[in-house]
Amino acid sequence: MIHSRNRRLRVNESIRSLVRENVLTTDDFVMPIFVMEGENMQEPIPSMPGIFRRSIDLTVKECKELFSLGVKSVNLYMKVSEHLKDNTGKEAWNQNGLMQNTIKAIKDAVPGMVVMPDVALDPYSIYGHDGIIENGKILNDATNDALARMSVSHAEAGADLVAPSDMMDGRVQVIREALEESGFTDVGIVSYAAKYASSFYGPFRSALDSAPKDDMEIPKDKKTYQMDYHNSREAMNEVFKDIEEGADVIMIKPGLPYLDIVSKVREAIDLPIAVYNVSGEYAMVKAAVQNGWLDNDKTIIESLTCFKRAGADMIFTYFAKEAAMILNK
């Protein structure tokens, strides 16, 4: 006779929900947003159905709708005009730049929205790299100084947290010190501590035209600073160093192919963990849905719940708005 039957706790939805270990809510989501120059402008991103580049005015409108749905955090990326790009990234800390004006506009219109601007030089670089280049190499320390200036300018514009995604060594400490010295003690750092050199970023790079340029004089990819996807112990080293340097939130990127890293980090630290459900993951689901191979709503909610189960506290995802609509039904 069987005495222990696990199926007793699966008999109906009421019982299943009573013993459910992880629950997904709109509070878990951070919506990445692409911003472009202009007014009343909106451009679709072909590789990411349902995702757009928008001018500041339409970005503000989108943020209002997101907040009404319960999505209270956004992560900002700029589509920078070609004539503003160079090898220093100086446009990144322009007080009247696209990023700075976007932050101000969102905080003015939706004060409760948590604004997390991306901190990296690739959208501002003529080379499409996250750092300043000299003699064919990415300069680590010079890049850190630029990232610190960028972060302070974001804080001055009203950012709640800055999100360095570059993977330069020591940049969290340099940014933290710059923020402290400038009086922004309450501005947090979401550190991309374990960001892998991944094939899943393709649609994102096409959205911002931020892929490394095909030039024999510079590295053809980002493998000298982003992590090797074969490694997991190295991720722990990166995480612990960023915590020592002053990170407030630890990011792991990409998401679904790296749930083992999320779980491993969760077991080791008490800080909040963010995970990035990246553009390639989004594109794969949407392609399968368009072909009738997957159920859109069920697949979205299941995949996002996986991040919670692995131990993530917040999920950066292009599904945020759609998932909020599903959860609010």
Radius of gyration of the chain (CA): 20
Rounded average pLDDT over 240-256? 97
Q: CA-CA distance, 215 to 194, in Å (whole number)?
A: 27
Beta bridge partners of 253: 195
Give the whole-number percent of the chain exceeding pLDDT 70: 97
Chain segment 5-59, per-residue pLDDT in tens: 999 999 999 999 999 999 999 999 999 999 999 999 999 999 999 999 999 999 9
The answer to whether the CB of 90 falls within 8 A of the CB of 131 is: no
Distances (CA, A) of 18 to 22, 39, 95, 268, 307: 11, 49, 51, 28, 20
CB neighbourhood size of 135 (10 A): 7
Listed by start position, the domains of the chain span 27-328
pLDDT-derived band at 69 (thresholds 50, 70, 90) equals very high
Give the whole-number percent of the chain exceeding pLDDT 90: 88
Record the pTM. Answer: 0.94
Which pLDDT does position 215 carry in this prediction? 66
129 or 275, higher pLDDT: 275
Rounded average pLDDT over 310-321? 98
Rounded average pLDDT over 140-169? 97
Rounded average pLDDT over 76-93? 94
CA-based nearest residue to 250, from 307, 308, 189, 201 = 189
The answer to whether the CB of 161 falls within 8 A of the CB of 117 is: no
The answer on whether 302 is annotated among ligand-binding residues is no
- Phi and psi dihedrals of 162, rounded to 5? -110, 150
> Which residue in 85, 107, 222, 253 is the catalytic one?
253
Which pLDDT does position 239 carry in this prediction? 98
Query: Which architecture characterizes domain 27-328 according to CATH?
Result: Alpha-Beta Barrel (3.20)
Q: CA-CA distance, 304 to 120, in Å (whole number)?
A: 26
> Which residue in 195, 222, 286, 321 is the catalytic one?
195
Write down the H helix ranges in the chain.
Answer: 13-18, 56-69, 98-109, 140-157, 171-181, 202-208, 233-245, 259-268, 279-290, 296-310, 320-328
Beta bridge partners of 273: 250
Q: CA-CA distance, 16 to 257, in Å (whole number)?
A: 27
Chain segment 96-131, per-residue pLDDT in tens: 999 999 999 999 999 999 999 999 999 999 998 999
CB neighbourhood size of 274 (10 A): 27
Would you give the end-to-end CA distance of the chain in angstroms?
A: 43
* pLDDT higher than 70, residue 146: yes
Which pLDDT does position 136 carry in this prediction? 87
3-class DSSP assignment, residue 308: helix
Which pLDDT does position 208 carry in this prediction? 64
Is-catalytic flag, 104? no
Chain segment 164-220, per-residue pLDDT in tens: 999 999 999 999 999 999 999 999 999 999 999 999 888 887 766 666 766 657 778
* pLDDT higher than 70, residue 155: yes
Q: CA-CA distance, 257 to 199, in Å (whole number)?
A: 11
Which pLDDT does position 218 carry in this prediction? 77
- The chain-wide mean pLDDT, for the chain, equals 94
Is-catalytic flag, 137? no
- Phi and psi dihedrals of 179, rounded to 5? -65, -40
Rounded average pLDDT over 140-165? 97
CA-based nearest residue to 326, from 59, 51, 70 = 70
